[in-house]
Structure formats: structure tokens, C-alpha cells
Structure 1
Amino acid sequence: MRVTVKLSPLLVDLFPGSTRHVGMEAATVSDAIDELERCWPGMRDRICDTRPSIRKHMNVFVDGERSALSTTLREGAEVFIITAISGG
């Protein structure tokens, strides 16, 4: 499936050469993160922990719905990978 991944500005700043919008082929959220890792080594470790699972301080949304690594992607899906915002 051809999808668009939209990265948070923080991730783009950490990985020189990356862009806010990345078009790719991916069947699941995990596949999309694997492709990001292939393009920018180390990005997977910023998004996922060792279980593997999406890190607590990261959020992944597919077409507006909070998602997990196993979430299936449809053709044309928009995957947003953003950092969580906390405060007190």
C-alpha cells in the first residue's frame, strides 16, 4: 500500500536529510517504521522501545485514529508520528 508518513518536527531535526512528509510502501505501521529506519538509521529506536512497542512519549495516528505497530494501513493512508506533549 502506498501511504504518507508525516513526521514531527523534532524527529526531522534529529535526522538530517529527513523530511516532514515521506511517501512509501507499507502494509502496517511497523512496516512504515522499518522503512523510516532504512532511510534514517536510528529513527526506529526513537519511535519504538525494545518490547517492541511504540514508546510512551510518542504517538502514532493513522487517519486520525491512535494506532499500534500492528495497525494495518490502507492505500493512501496518512500516518502521523508525533511526540507527546506533557505539562503540569
Structure 2
Amino acid sequence: MAAAAPALVRLPPLFDALFPGAERRVEIVASSVQELVDELDARWPGMRDRICDSTPAVRRHINVFVEGRRATLATPLKPGADVYILTAISGG
């Protein structure tokens, strides 16, 4: 049986400064956004805390999109899914 196709995850530019050496595009095999965040944190410790709050849920100023739709930690990932993690832009 072949391994599932990894999701293609795109990380925000802000993470470049916070996680030196982290790639902006990374492939991860995961069945949910939660598993994806766990794997990101395993590769770059502390990344979970930047993406999730303590409840746990995706932080208010972070957006996760799977196949163009806003996602939660419980959102399932199909093999080969396109995932974007973006920082929200706010102002007044």
C-alpha cells in the first residue's frame, strides 16, 4: 500500500524570523490540521504556540485555509491537500 500524498503547507513570512531555518513551503503527511500542527511543532519547536492558543484552537490572528476554505484544528486533510497558514492583517 502506497503512503498517502503529503499536504503542501505554506507558512507565513513572519515565521522566517521566529523559526530560523524553517521552510516557507513544507510537505507533511497528516490526516487533520491538528496532526499537521503537531508535525510542524516537532520540526520547529514552539510553532504550535504561534499557531494555536491554550484552548486549543487556531489563534484569533492566524488563519488556516485548506483547499481555499477556512479550517479549524479538527478539519480533515485529504492526501495532497493545499494548506495555507496566514497571519491576519488588522488595523484601525
**Pairwise TM-score range, normalised by the shorter structure:** over 0.9
TM-score of the aligned structures, taking structure 2 as reference length: 0.92
SS in 2 for 1:32: helix
Match of 2:72 in 1: 68
TM-score of the aligned structures, taking structure 1 as reference length: 0.96
Q: Please, which runs of 5 or more residues in structure 2 have no aligned partner?
A: none
Give the paired residue count.
88
**CA positional deviation for 1:13:** 2.1
Choose 1 or 2 for highest CA Rg.
Answer: 2
Return structure 1 stretches of 4+ with deviation > 2 angstroms. Answer: none
SS in 1 for 2:64: strand
2:9 pairs with 1:9: no
> Percentage identity across aligned positions?
53
Q: Please, which runs of 5 or more residues in structure 1 have no aligned partner?
A: none
Measured on the aligned residues, the alpha-carbon RMSD in Å equals: 0.8
Higher share in strand: 1
2:85 pairs with 1:81: yes
